[in-house]
């Protein structure tokens, strides 16, 4: 299934930066946060970032408008994830938060939807293990500020399949990032 719509769960600075870069890459982009103030702030920062890029001559007014036209904002995980082909979670990099969002996304998303863990400290294999779609789970290590990123580390879990890995690499390429495979972290004791 080709990826056309990407949802980003969490509209903090990192999530907003990822959403802007994904929309610039040509994807329909849905940025979600349960806090309306976070969504408004993220939208304002995206608009300001596009205006700055336009002022520097990096994009035209038409290109900036097209990026904004591909952006949508949602106030629930369900609204964002149901429409997506690929979901990037940007919740705090804590085991409990990550497990909770992966369980929820696994229930909400259509079969075949790719779940992306944005983590630097947690095993992708372990997160995928709480879902019924471990082959469709992969890690992507984004850093703030996303605008300045040149490379993206993609982390397959033990069961990540080739189409999922390929979709993650294509997303990175379309975001104009050099992609490289990174190692998964060890599964914590007691995990299945």
Tell me the whole-structure pTM to 2 decimals. 0.94
Average pLDDT over residues 11-15: 95
Name the pairing type of β-strands 151-156 and 137-141: antiparallel
In DSSP notation, 115-166 reads: EEE--SSS-HHHHHTTSS-GGGEEEEE--SSGGG--EEEEEE-TT--HHHHH
pLDDT per position as a tens digit, 64-86 = 999 999 999 999 999 999 999 99
Share of the chain above pLDDT 90, in %: 93
Domains and CATH numbers, the chain: 5-181 (3.40.50.720)
Q: How far apart are CA 116 and CA 164, in angstroms?
A: 10
pLDDT beyond 50 at 189: no
Joined tokens for residue 80: 């964002």
pLDDT per position as a tens digit, 124-159 = 999 999 999 999 999 999 998 998 999 999 999 999
* Long-range Cβ pairs for the range 92-96 (8 Å, 24+): 93/118, 93/119, 93/120, 93/121, 93/122, 95/122, 95/188
Contact present, 59 and 49 (Cβ < 8 Å):
no
pLDDT per position as a tens digit, 22-40 = 999 999 999 999 999 999 9
From residue 133, alpha-carbon distances to 74, 129, 141 in Å are: 24, 8, 20
């Amino acid at each position: 299934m080709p990826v056309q719509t990407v949802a980003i769960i969490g509209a903090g600075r990192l999530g907003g930066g990822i959403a802007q870069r994904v929309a610039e890459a040509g994807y329909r982009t849905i940025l979600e946060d349960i806090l309306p103030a976070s969504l408004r702030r993220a939208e304002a920062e995206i608009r300001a970032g596009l205006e700055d890029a336009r002022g520097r001559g990096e994009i035209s007014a038409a290109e900036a408008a097209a990026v904004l036209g591909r952006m949508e904002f949602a106030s629930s995980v369900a609204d964002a994830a149901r429409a997506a082909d690929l979901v990037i979670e940007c919740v705090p990099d804590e085991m409990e938060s990550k497990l909770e969002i992966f369980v929820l996304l696994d229930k909400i998303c259509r079969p075949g939807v790719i779940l992306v863990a944005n983590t630097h400290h947690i095993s992708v294999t372990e997160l995928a293990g709480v879902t019924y779609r471990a082959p469709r789970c992969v890690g992507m290590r984004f850093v703030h500020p996303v605008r300045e990123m040149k490379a993206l580390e993609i982390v397959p879990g033990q069961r990540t399949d080739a189409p999922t890995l390929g979709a993650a690499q294509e997303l990175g390429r379309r975001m104009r990032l050099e992609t490289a495979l990174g190692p998964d972290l060890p599964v914590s004791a007691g995990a299945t």
